[in-house]
Chain A
Amino acid sequence: MKTTRLGLMAVVLTGLCVNLAAAYTHYGTSVTANGGLLYWPSGSMTYRVNSQAASQFNIVQPGNVSSVIDQAFGIWESGCGFNFTRGSQTSVTNAGYDAINLVTFADTAANRSALGGIACRTILTFNSSNVIFDADILFHPDLTITTVSSSTDVRQPNAHPLLPMMLGQAGHCIAVMSSPIQSASMMRYVAGRTAKTEAGRLGTFLTRDDQIAANVASAKTGFFTGTGTISGYVTLGGAKVYGAHVVAVDAATGIVAAGNVSLGSNQGTKFGYYRIKGLPAGAYKLYAEPVDAPYASDNWEGIPSWGDYWGGDFTGGYRTTFQGGNAAPASVQVAAGGTTAVNLAVSSGSHSILPIYNALVPAGISPAQAETGSVLYQTLNVHTPIVLKPGERRTVAVNGVGLIGTTISCSDPAMTVDVSGLRTGVLGDDTEYLIFQLAVPATSAEGPRNLIFKSGAETAVMTGAIYIDPQKPFIRRNSADRTWRLME
């Protein structure tokens, strides 16, 4: 009987939600136009680079600025079929609404004001029918940028690699917004982390999560052919929940497949609704987590106060809840081409376990060594996923609230969480830290994994905190002279 109801619901939802937001795409003003998503009706965008870019004094070579910009747009184009074309250079310097989709590094008062002191931003202009007219990308003229695009090359001191920054901005142009999956290339702080840490290739390619978002936004390839969907409502005591982060994790491998955020009240009957597309057929563990920590509402971009499409503060007052219960999460089956309806009823209460930051300790340092102040300070203060290669064993650190005494695990059952040398303590901001080791099997597949902390019935998840990357490069910045060094 239950199966029948679920099946009926699946049919209804499939019919209603042709293109409603999935992954981390920007909702439009209209709930109905283009399924509620912002879009370019032509399916293409021509961008033009301000002519000062090539001679910008603080862009350090080697390489060509325009070619890196092309590379970033090209990564999205190859990932979702949306057509990006580079037009001729332009003398237009300032962002605005002028039908020129501008990439500018120009040093003008207007651009400095529009940036307001941040490194880069995208300004999207659209209308109440969700049609995008203009997309401008601004870079701060004081920023030192390098065109060396991959972390596999040694970079200039203090230079920010252009490609990860540009990749994020190019994604914004098609209304792909920031991802709360920590190891996604669209995670908001990706540019900072690639400038500061050994985050590896992240930010220079599209992770699965990024690809799904791109294809929701573009829908020009057969990307979703043969994949399935999980969708439904998140509720708390029967009331719809706005802003729950719902995540599907491959039940066998523990790889984070994709996620979505439940919609706001201005979405009418879709209030509290989530939809996760692009799932290969199989079994998934599904959970909803509040947007408190480690992923706060700042992981989304530019939530505007004039809000005819967001809809107020995210719902609070609930804990991370797995479908089927935190003690023994159920497996949700997804069939190729099908939609599985799952309504997630979350548990009320506030978290007593709240991980905030995680960090990868430099190679060769044990948990005990990592506990010394300088190491812990340097590692636990940036948004950095733990990027590991297959076969690697490394010390990692996590800080947060209520962590001491929790059971630590990884969503990937093949990975080993070694707590034999566990170090715990309290930081200057009253948060607790845990330092332990992770060991990755040599055969691990690429992709994001979760770090999980349990105490009694409560579970907290750091979604996508770990990324296994066989191609992980081996450089890191020397903290003393800020140069980049090959480590292996």
Chain B
Amino acid sequence: MRYLVIIALFGILAPRAAAAGPSAGPDELARFCRRADYILHGRVTAQSFIRDRDGLIWTSYTLVVAEPLKAPVPAAVKTFQFRQPGGCFGDLRQVATGSADIRRDDEVILFTRDYGAGFQSVAEGDRGCLRVRTVTDARRAAASRDRRIVPAACKVAPGRASIDLDRLKEQLREAVKQGAGAGEAGR
């Protein structure tokens, strides 16, 4: 069986027999989704570099949206611009530790947020960009949990070790619903 696997898992670590134990999982995922302005499935098609007035270099990406899973406006957007710190500008290079590894042609599930600067940034550093990869070996996929993607506390119960893309999107839609209207303090 061939899975489209997100190299990041929302699996819970409670034993099956104790699945009713700590139940923070869905709430945590809902909080993570709530903090994002946008959650988008799409493909990165372009990147460019911007240097701001403080001298910070940003990489600006273009995402061709396949499906918006959360968007503050009706989802007619086909391309989407977002940034993260780090990049090249002339002879200068900047590295911001904890940035996501985003490459042209990557298929991603992207979480972004405007943190107050007037543009959408990758949320939560490298945890806010899930690279979609085709993994043929389910056992290997099970071990490919990528802790970058989701905050450590973000667990989904009851999860699975490998999640196909459709299943993940379904979980995200549900989490977005749970988070809707609950409000979120801070920026």
Contacts and interface: CB of A to CB of B under 8 A. Distances in A.
Interface of A: 26, 29, 94-98, 109-110, 112-118, 121-128, 133-134, 142, 169, 172, 177-178, 189, 192, 292-293, 296-298, 301-306, 308, 350-352, 354, 356-357, 371-374, 376-378, 380-383, 399-402, 425-431, 433
Contact of A128 (B55, B91, B155): B91
Contacts of B59: 304-306
Chain B, interface size: which category? 35 or more
Nearest to A116: B121
Given A296-B144, A301-B98, A381-B155, A97 B92 contact: yes
Contact of B94 (A124, A189, A301, A377): A124
Nearest to A352: B139
A315 to B, nearest CB: 14
Given A110-B56, A429-B12, A351 B18 contact: no
Contacts of B147: 189, 296, 298, 383
B19 A428 contact: yes
Interface of B: 9, 11-22, 35, 47, 49, 52-57, 59, 84-88, 91-99, 101-104, 113, 115-117, 119, 121-126, 128, 137, 139-140, 142-148, 152-153, 155, 157-162, 186-187
B104 to A, nearest CB: 7
29 contacts: A94-B56, A110-B52, A112-B117, A113-B119, A114-B56, A116-B125, A117-B128, A121-B96, A123-B96, A124-B95, A125-B92, A125-B94, A126-B95, A189-B147, A301-B99, A302-B97, A305-B102, A306-B88, A350-B140, A373-B20, A376-B13, A377-B12, A380-B13, A399-B13, A426-B16, A427-B14, A428-B19, A429-B12, A429-B160
B14 to A, nearest CB: 4
B143 to A, nearest CB: 4
Contact of A117 (B97, B101, B123, B145): B123
Ranked 6 nearest A-B pairs via Cβ: A373-B18, A429-B11, A96-B54, A97-B55, A109-B116, A96-B55
Nearest to A136: B56
A60 to B, nearest CB: 18
A127 B157 CA distance: 46
Nearest to A108: B116
A237 B160 CA distance: 34
B17 to A, nearest CB: 7
Contact of B143 (A133, A177, A292, A303): A292
Contacts of B137: 350
B13 A377 contact: yes
B98 A302 contact: yes
